Amino acid sequence: MAEKTIAGKSISVNEEGYMTDPSQWDHDVAKELAKEDGIELTDKHFEVLEFLRTVTEKGETLTIRKVGKSGIVDIKGLYGLFPGGPLKISSKVAGIPKPSSCV
């Protein structure tokens, strides 16, 4: 495990850059993580991120389909918010582990 300074905080991350302690996450950390992928977060982004965190906290499996059925954003909208790997990138920005469905 490694440490990375994000938004002025020392954050524990794994070899792929995913946070290993979701309790270290906050909106400032999310904004910095998103910048690494060229994304500027909006309120809609944060709605998705909070949904992902809630699903993960419940121990449920994350899928793109589940996000699409959330009522927050459809699948096409998720791709628009997080281009290039929507579930993989959004999970990283949300400070949660990479979903098993992501390569």
Q: Where along the chain do its domains lie?
A: 26-93
Q: Which of 10, 39, 102, 103 is catalytic?
A: 102
Residue 83's pLDDT is 94
| Closest alpha carbon to 64 in 56, 54, 52 | 52
Q: Is 102 a catalytic residue?
A: yes
pLDDT digits (tens, 9 = 90+) for 41-89: 999 999 999 999 999 999 988 899 999 999 999 999 999 999 988 999 9
Task: Record the pTM.
Answer: 0.91
- Residue 65 burial (C-beta neighbours within 10 Å; 0-12, 13-18, 19+): exposed
Compute the distance between CA of residue 31 and CA of residue 64 in angstroms, rounded to an integer.
21
The confidence score (pLDDT) of residue 98 equals 84
